Amino acid sequence: MHIGAELAVPTQIRKKLRMQLEKICAALEELKSRIFTLGSRDRAFYVVGAVMAQQIERGLGRPALVETIRQGPRAFFEAYHQSRPIFPIPTLVAAH
């Protein structure tokens, strides 16, 4: 193996790594777009948040839910975690 061949290997590896990184970046952009579409445009985030708020109110009471608004998102998730049953079954409409 001569010196030129030794230098070519790292260059080839860098080129392959760069190509893989470009593919990953493109996939991340696609994922961001899909999350935005599902979460914002299709309102999935609102539905999930409503179910979580319902569970907080059921488990900890309305004052605890209202307090999460004052304290912020972290408090909301912590209250949900504290209030949820082991195997939660989310429902927005009461069963008849």
Indicate the angle between helix axes 62-71 and 44-60, nearest 10 degrees: 130
| pLDDT value, residue 10 | 83
Q: How far apart are CA 18 and CA 22, in angstroms?
A: 6
pLDDT means per 10 residues in the chain (96 residues)? 62 91 94 87 87 93 96 94 70 54
What residues does each domain of the chain span? Answer: 1-42, 43-96
pLDDT of residue 63: 97
pLDDT of residue 89: 56
Dist. CA 60–CA 67, nearest whole Å = 11
